[in-house]
A and B are shown apart, each in its own frame.
Chain A
Amino acid sequence: MGDPPRRLQVKFEIPSDARYLPVVRGAIGPLAAAIGWDESECRAITLAVDEALANVIRHAYHSRADGLIELECREIADGLEITMLDNGDAPDKSKICARELGCDQPGGLGTHIIKKVMDRVSYEASPEGNRFVASKLLRKTS
């Protein structure tokens, strides 16, 4: 029996500063393309990851630039898994996904985009910090 196939895994340690967001966006699109998504899906996945990072910067670190976000992007057998860890304030679960899509209110769009694009999304607070995990399967489309 052969070894399991090697798969792509990329890790970032990002200061909680919005000026680093383009760096991550620049990597996510090609990563998703390498796994097999088309241009439109790559844009959507990039957007979802960017929105998750922006949520951490805004809500966990309250726009302070001295926090740390660990981001891991891992190719899995049937798609992509994103894990994000931070040590800021824990997310308020009552405020997550409290918006109806298509309405004319400006708040809550980012979380809805993440849910719409990714197939599985979870948030949890642990002694290590806040952990966000999201995955997307290659065969499904947003």
Chain B
Amino acid sequence: MKISIRDVGDAKVVEVEGDVDLGTSPVFRRTLFETLPLAAKLALNLEAIRYIDSSGIATLIEVLKDSQRLNKQFVLFGLSPAVQEVFRLTHVIRIFRVFATEQEALETA
């Protein structure tokens, strides 16, 4: 799994590539929790995720809750087929703000 972070205006865009599983999700989790307080919005690009398991989805739920506590925006965009499949099976997509593209994710207040 590779993670990179870049600044776009007031937002942090986090790009994740590869597999998020039991072995890699602690780094995924730590990166998101460390990045969340640093900008008004955290936009997570899930386009290059080849695999994500329930520990990855649990992390997204935890980050969402922390974003609400910190009054930050946490949005997702570019859901890969692997991510869509896990969201379909867990029915949690409704709790997230999900966009097709980075532009849409960053433009929406």
State the A residues within 8 Å of B (CB): 18-19, 21-22, 25, 39-40, 43-44, 46-47, 50-51, 54, 57-58, 101-107, 109-110, 112-113, 116-117, 142
Contact = CB atoms under 8 A, between A and B. Distances in A.
27 contacts: A18-B21, A19-B23, A22-B51, A25-B19, A25-B21, A39-B81, A40-B81, A44-B89, A46-B51, A47-B89, A50-B53, A51-B53, A54-B21, A54-B22, A54-B53, A57-B22, A101-B91, A102-B90, A103-B92, A104-B92, A106-B58, A106-B62, A107-B58, A112-B89, A113-B90, A116-B89, A142-B89
A116 B91 CA distance: 11
Nearest to B57: A109
Given A51-B53, A51-B54, A113 B61 contact: no
Contacts of A105: 61
B81 A112 contact: no
B107 to A, nearest CB: 26
B10 interface: no
B21 A21 contact: yes
A141 to B, nearest CB: 12
B30 interface: no
Contacts of A47: 53, 85-86, 89
A106 B92 CA distance: 10
Nearest to B81: A43
Contact of A113 (B51, B64, B86, B95): B86
Contacts of B62: 106
A125 to B, nearest CB: 22
